[in-house]
Amino acid sequence: MMLENTLHTVVDRKQSFVKDEFLVKAGHDFKKLYVIHSGALKTSITTHEGKEQINGFYLPGDIVGFDGIASQKYSNNISALTNTLVCELDYDELMVLVSKNPPLLKMVLNLLSLDIINYQKLMICYSQKKADERLAAFIYSLYFRYAQRGHSSLNIKLSMSRHDIANFLGLTIETVSRIFTRLQELDILSVKGKYIHIKDINKLTKIANEL
């Protein structure tokens, strides 16, 4: 991600987190953004009933934490799906740089705008896609995001559990499981635990209803 390169001389505090460790908890004071160097993160909120609701999975290159800007409190929990190395960006320092550097400002605004578009797409996904379409879209999005990062491969290792996938997609683990087997019967995927091989990406995108 360009932002990291632009800033690496200035803000370069790498920090590592182990699986299931929290980087931040919702409600805490907003200070930093996190650029993922390696590993994977998830963001979640805790509902009034105390249940977790995952609202994002993040891969190397992604920046996490924009939700905290408005209220200066993080609105999400951020935790590590696996051992993860992140680069911390101090928001106030970033603001100082941004105000002196219009291209950087543009970049930051683009990232925020991308985040908005990302959530808009997810909204659509939830509001009109059926369970199999959601899961197909989810698998495809992982494939696509790895490909964007130069790791184009039909083999994907899921860094999250079935429980996390179901939670994120607004389904139950049973439904996710059933759809995985269905997609295997259709010769679209082959699934072995956390390892997924995409056997027919055309059919996958067709089911996912994405171009």
Partner DNA sequence: CGCCCCATTGAAGGGTTTCAATTATCGTGG
Partner DNA sequence: CCACGATAATTGAAACCCTTCAATGGGGCG
Q: Which residues bind DNA (CB under 7 A)?
A: 130-132, 161-163, 170-178, 180-181, 191-194
Comparing CB distances to a copy of itself, the nearer of 174 and 187 is 174
Comparing CB distances to a copy of itself, the nearer of 69 and 85 is 69
Bridge-based pairing state of the strands 13-17 and 41-46? unpaired
Minimum distance of DNA from residue 74's CB (angstroms) = 25
User: Residue 45, Cβ neighbours under 10 Å: how many?
Assistant: 14
| Partner whose binding site includes residue 209, from a copy of itself, DNA, none (CB under 5 to 8 Å by kind) | a copy of itself
Residues in touch with a copy of itself (CB under 8 A)? 45, 47-49, 53, 55, 66-71, 75-76, 95, 98-99, 102, 105-106, 108-117, 119-120, 122-124, 126-128, 168-170, 209-211
Minimum distance of a copy of itself from residue 87's CB (angstroms) = 20
Torsion sign across C-alpha atoms 44, 77, 147, 103: positive
**SS3 state of residue 29:** strand
Burial 130-157 (b: 16+ CB within 10 A, else e): ebbbbbbbbbbbbbebbeeeeeeeeebe
